[in-house]
Amino acid sequence: MSSSMDPIKIPEAPHSPGTAASLAMTGARGPLEQLLHALNQPLTGLQCSMEVALASPRTPEQYVQGLRDGLALTERMRALVDAIREVADAEEEQEAKAETIELHAVLREVVEDLAPVAEAKSVLITLECSAASSLAAKTGRRRLAAAVFRLLESALSLAARGSALRVEMGGGLAEGWIRIRWHAARPRSEFSRAELGLLVAQAGWERAGAEWDRDRTESVETVTVRLPDISAGGGNF
């Protein structure tokens, strides 16, 4: 894929997928807890807005502004509720029939599917599987593909225009890993659609028994998904 813009170079990662410190934005809460906690803020804001509107007479302009603020808060709550429902529905789904799937093949398919979106945004996607090309998972293909797509789509949305999105896979049967690195766009909204998508992706990977790490060094963000003994079908995709 070519681009008229020169991509921003992302520094090479160390050999180990781990990084120095986790982002404060994720904290110790799980994805569902973060979503429920985030829902409290717009709910409180909407309640305060309505209380202020009823407290004393206001001008028509003030009422209109109050309605606009309330609509913005309602849209935010709707996005959060949709993400909560997606996480909850995934937890209730019955397990799909397990089959042995080459992870690099799923990654490659998703990268190819997102190539037009990346090109429109002038983001260069690179995929490096190295020795992990034989890494396989015994799981449901649809769920695995959905988890990979949610992760890469969200990272692509968060990547700065004209930058690079690097997708790597390594490790072995005892513990494989997938690492996604991108140069973050600014400004970023804590609970944008892309950020909510990452939380949904995190919930899916953790439900499958994987460990999720998200780190930020200056403007470069990294998500590392450490996989369990996936060849044994221990995950819950």
**Going residue by residue through the chain (237 aa), what tens digit of pLDDT does each one get?**
444 334 333 334 433 333 333 333 445 578 888 888 888 888 998 988 888 888 888 888 888 888 899 898 898 898 889 888 888 877 666 555 666 677 888 899 999 999 999 999 999 999 988 655 556 666 667 778 888 999 999 999 999 999 999 999 887 666 788 999 999 887 666 678 888 999 999 988 888 788 899 998 888 999 999 887 655 444 555
Q: What is the pLDDT of residue 130?
A: 67
Q: What is the pLDDT of residue 15?
A: 37
Contact 191, 151 (CB under 8 A): no
Q: What is the pLDDT of residue 98?
A: 62
Phi, psi of 101, deg, nearest 5: -125, 135
State the CB neighbour count (10 A cutoff) for residue 189: 11
Q: What is the pLDDT of residue 110?
A: 94
What pTM does this model have?
0.71
Q: What is the pLDDT of residue 221?
A: 93
CA 201/CA 199 separation, integer angstroms: 5
